[in-house]
């Protein structure tokens, strides 16, 4: 998944919830599309808390 698609999905989710998502947790597996500066800025703009695991999703059993 590309960063632009991740940003678009984030914007759609915020819109779907009426823009009031401050304090919500945005989980991810920590891939580069989630750690990109543009995603960090969008998360901060909307007041989202980002949550990333240290291990890859595929490492979790």
Concatenated DSSP letters of 38-59 = HHHHHHHHHTPEEEE-SS-GGG
**Rounded-to-integer distance, Cα 42 and Cα 34, Å:** 11
9 within a domain of the structure (yes/no): yes
* pLDDT confidence of residue 46: 94
**Residue 59 resides in a domain:** no
User: Is 7 inside a domain boundary?
Assistant: yes
Whole-number CA gyration radius for the chain: 12
What is the rounded average pLDDT of the residues 28-57?
80
Among the ranges given (4-8, 14-18, 49-53, 54-58), the one the predictor scored with the smallest mean pLDDT: 54-58
Residue 42 scores a pLDDT above 50: yes
What integer pLDDT is reported at residue 56 of this predicted model?
Answer: 53
Note whether residue 45 is domain-resident.
Answer: yes
Residue 57 lies in a domain: no
Tell me whether residue 60 is in a domain. Answer: no
Any domain includes 42: yes
Q: What helix, strand, coil percent values describe the chain, rounded to 5?
A: 50, 15, 35
19 domain-assigned: yes
Quote the pLDDT of residue 61: 46
Question: pTM score > 0.85 for this model?
Answer: no
Domain count, the chain: 1
Parent domain of 42: 3-52
């Amino acid at each position: 998944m590309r960063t632009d698609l991740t940003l678009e999905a984030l914007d759609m989710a915020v819109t779907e919830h009426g823009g009031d998502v401050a304090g919500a947790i945005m989980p991810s597996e920590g891939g580069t599309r989630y750690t990109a500066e543009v995603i960090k800025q969008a998360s901060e703009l909307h007041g989202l808390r980002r949550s990333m695991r240290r291990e890859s999703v595929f490492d979790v059993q």
